[in-house]
Chain A
Amino acid sequence: MSLLCHQAQSQRIEISPPYTVESQLETTASFERFPWLLEALRGLRLIYESGRNIPGIGDLRISEQTASFVRRLLSLIAISRLPVPRITPISGGGVGLLWNVGGKEAVLTVYPNDDRFAYMLSNEADELVSDGLLTLEQQRALNSILGWLVQP
């Protein structure tokens, strides 16, 4: 590698109050930083509170454990410019999250009593781009997947 290559340098740090004081240890995803998160949470609360067992359609009730898993999943997404996802209950106690950005779609599916969630990406032509399973420990992979949605 050439010694003349251009890279980030000349850092200057300004630490002058008032500034945003952030917890260094207990991370929270704030609604101010991720505007879509507030409505996503509201959508989740709505299906959590209204979930019923409907004969012929299915059991759309969501457990607190599953709702908590979805909240944690949402809090790990570090992309501020995402749209609000469509949140739907899945018969049997699961939750589906769908983002559509200009025809590109990402679907995350959370199943009850499972520490993994499924993802599926499809392009503007409705072709499958990628799919698989992830855990909440794979935050980087999750953000990479959803980052694809907002890439030009």
Chain B
Amino acid sequence: MKKATANARIAPDPPRRTLDFEKPPVVETSLGFYFSPMPKWNLINYGLIWEKFRAKYPSAEFKPPIGEMQLSLTPNPDFTDLALRALFVDNSKTQLVQIQNGCFLRNWRKTPEIPRYQHYEKVLPAFKEDWLIFVASMRELYPVDLEVRRCEMTYFNHLVRGEDWDDFSDFGDYYSVWRGSTNPDILVNPRMITIGTVYEIPHGMLQINSQPGIRQTDGKEVVQLTVTAHVIPTRQSNDELFYCLDRCHVANVNAFLEFTTEKLQQRWKRKQ
């Protein structure tokens, strides 16, 4: 009941619609928390944290950090707190944890070897377990608790040309928000359609981006439909943070179903 009280001033979340496909377009999901960056972050922290994850995620990679990075030139450089993002990857290469000073993300991805989609209900327990390991590791490094500013969930979907769609001029049939031109002589035959939208949701924001490109792994022309929801927690407790993730999930599912048409959903063989 506390949750209802905390959110009483804003519109309630709409109920979640059910969603299941025989051929889901999702290729990756990401769940995560963004927290206030810790002072005096040290590169060695990545190694210390990895020790806690290593049995589950034996491979480690380093990537540029998420977000806008500003660099300036100064004498006497000190790279102790060099901005990086560490990826800890499991043996199946389908599960990984991403850590940088300011965020904790956990991803699932589809691979040719393990293509079966893992539903939210399946990845959430794994996320919770990894988050608690991360929090415990951070407690060993810092005397203060993490302050989570935002909970976030993202679905990455690939719409493959020749399988899910054939031509950009058909997108009026696939996206409910895209009507296209009604004049047969003007604005016909689009060569490309890129859509970026941001919506308000209770205590957060929802982003939908539709971006065409070429998938590097197999050279297929795809439209990447990315649906991201984030919710700002009202309290700093794990229950509240996980509840916010649930709300992100509900917002994403509803948005996805609203954004795509039934015709497109039938191509993915919607079950419910």
Contacts and interface: CB of A to CB of B under 8 A. Distances in A.
A17 B153 CA distance: 13
Interface in B145-193: 150, 154, 156, 158, 191-192
Contact of B214 (A9, A18, A37): A37
A27 B219 CA distance: 11
A75 B228 contact: no
Given A24-B30, A31-B192, A9 B79 contact: yes
Given A9-B78, A23-B224, A72 B218 contact: yes
Interface residues of B, number: 62
B102 interface: yes
Contact of B76 (A3, A11, A20): A3
A138 interface: no
A15 B69 CA distance: 9
Interface string B78-119: 110111000100000000101011110101011000000000
Contacts of A76: 216
Contacts of B213: 28-33, 37, 75
B77 A26 contact: no
A10 B214 contact: no
Interface string B184-223: 0000000110100010000001010101111111111110
A28 B70 contact: no
A116 interface: no
A6 B215 contact: no
Most buried by A among B98, B100, B218, B219: B219
A72 B110 CA distance: 19
B27 interface: yes
B83 A26 contact: no
Contacts of B73: 6-9
A69 B217 CA distance: 10
Contacts of A33: 213
A13 B68 contact: yes
A41 B158 contact: no
A103 B224 CA distance: 36
A7 B79 CA distance: 10
Given A21-B228, A28-B158, 17 more contacts: A5-B75, A11-B83, A13-B65, A13-B70, A15-B66, A15-B103, A18-B205, A20-B209, A25-B28, A28-B215, A30-B212, A31-B211, A32-B213, A41-B214, A72-B214, A72-B219, A73-B219
Interface of B: 27-28, 30, 34, 37, 63, 65-79, 81-83, 87, 96, 98, 100-103, 105, 107, 109-110, 150, 154, 156, 158, 191-192, 194, 198, 205, 207, 209, 211-222, 224, 226, 228, 230
Interface of A: 3-21, 23-33, 37-38, 41-42, 67-76
